[in-house]
C-alpha cells in the first residue's frame, strides 16, 4: 500500500498531529498467548503447580504488569505474596518469553507494518507506551522487524520505567516527555480498556482495535474503535478522525 499524500491531520485545538504512540501487547502484535505460555512454563520450572488457562489469563489481564499479575494470583489462591520471590519469578518468565519470541511465530497485527511505514513517510513520529518491560519490546522488535526498537521508534516508554502502570497515565506522559510533545500533538493506539483509560488520563485522543483478550470491553471514551489497524493504514481515516 503506497503512503498517503494527504497533509497532516489536526487534533482538537488545531494542533498538528505529529506522532503516533503505540501500545505493544495486543496492539502491535497478539502476544498475550506467548506471555501466558511463558508464565506457565516458568511456574512449572519452579515447581509451583500453577497453570493459567485462557479464562484465568483473561481475568488476570485486568491487572496490568506481570509482577502485579503474579501477586494477584497468589492472593486469589489464599497465599501471601510476601512468601514468594515475585521479582525472580518475573525475571525468569521474561527471559523465557524473550527466548520464545526469538523463535518467531508471533506476527504483527494486520495493518500495523503498513500503518507505521505510511505514518513515517508522512512525517509522523512513532513511539511506544507500554506496561511491558523493555526486554519484551526489544524481543518483539527483533522478531517482527529484524531491528532494535530504537531503530523503529523515536521514543520508548516501558512499564519498568514508571511508578504506576496503566490505567495510570505515567507511561504515556513519559512517552510525550521523550518526544518533546504535548498530548494534543499525538494520538494513542490501544487494544484494551486499561490502555484507553491511561491514554485518556494523559490527555491523548485514542483509537482502539480490540485484541483477542479485550473484545467486549468498554471503549466509550475512544476517538474511534476499529476492527483492525489496517483500517488506518492508508492514513485517510486517521486524518478524518483527528481533524478538529
Summarize the confidence of residues 212-229 as an average pLDDT.
Answer: 96
Q: How far apart are CA 160 and CA 138, in angstroms?
A: 13
Q: Are 233 and 2 in contact (CB under 8 A)?
A: no
Q: Which residue has the higher pLDDT, 93 or 105?
A: 93
Mean pLDDT of the chain: 92
Q: Quick one: pLDDT band at residue 240, thresholds 50, 70, 90?
A: confident
SS3 content of the chain, % helix, strand, coil (to 5): 45, 10, 40
Task: Let me know how long the chain is.
Answer: 244
Considering only residues 242 and 180, tell me which one the structure prediction assigns the higher pLDDT.
180
**Percent with pLDDT over 90 in the chain:** 88
Query: Is it the case that residue 2 has pLDDT exceeding 60?
Result: no
How buried is 118 (Cβ within 10 angstroms: 0-12 exposed, 13-18 middle, 19+ buried)? buried
Q: Which residues are catalytic?
A: 23, 25
Strands 10-11 and 15-16 turn out to be antiparallel
Q: pTM (2 decimals)?
A: 0.89
Q: Tell me what pLDDT residue 106 has.
A: 86
What digits encode the pLDDT tens for the residues 62-87? 999 999 999 999 999 999 999 999 99
Amino acid at each position: 500500500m503506497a503512503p498517503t499524500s494527504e497533509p497532516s491531520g489536526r487534533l482538537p485545538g488545531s494542533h498538528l498531529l505529529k506522532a503516533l504512540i503505540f501500545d505493544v501487547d495486543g496492539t502491535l502484535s497478539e502476544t498475550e498467548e506467548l506471555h501466558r505460555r511463558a508464565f506457565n512454563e516458568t511456574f512449572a520450572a519452579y515447581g509451583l503447580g500453577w497453570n493459567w488457562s485462557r479464562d484465568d489469563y483473561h481475568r488476570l489481564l485486568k491487572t496490568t504488569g506481570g509482577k502485579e499479575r503474579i501477586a494477584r494470583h497468589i492472593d486469589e489462591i489464599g497465599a501471601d505474596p510476601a512468601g514468594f520471590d515475585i521479582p525472580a519469578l518475573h525475571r525468569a518468565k521474561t527471559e523465557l518469553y524473550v527466548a520464545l519470541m526469538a523463535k518467531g511465530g508471533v506476527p504483527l497485527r494486520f495493518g500495523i507494518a503498513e500503518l507505521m511505514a505510511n505514518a513515517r513517510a508522512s512525517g509522523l513520529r512513532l513511539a511506544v507506551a507500554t506496561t511491558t518491560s523493555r526486554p519484551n519490546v526489544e524481543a518483539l522488535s527483533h522478531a517482527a522487524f529484524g531491528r532494535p526498537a530504537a531503530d523503529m521508534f523515536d521514543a520508548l516508554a516501558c512499564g519498568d520505567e514508571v511508578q504506576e502502570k496503566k490505567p495510570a497515565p505515567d507511561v504515556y506522559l513519559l512517552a510525550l516527555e521523550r518526544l518533546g510533545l504535548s498530548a494534543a500533538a499525538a494520538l494513542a493506539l490501544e487494544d484494551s480498556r486499561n490502555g484507553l483509560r491511561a491514554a485518556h488520563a494523559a490527555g491523548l485522543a485514542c483509537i482502539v482495535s480490540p485484541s483477542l483478550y479485550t473484545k467486549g470491553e468498554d471503549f466509550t471514551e475512544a476517538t474511534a474503535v476499529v476492527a483492525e489497524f489496517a483500517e488506518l493504514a492508508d492514513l485517510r481515516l486517521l486524518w478524518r478522525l483527528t481533524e478538529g
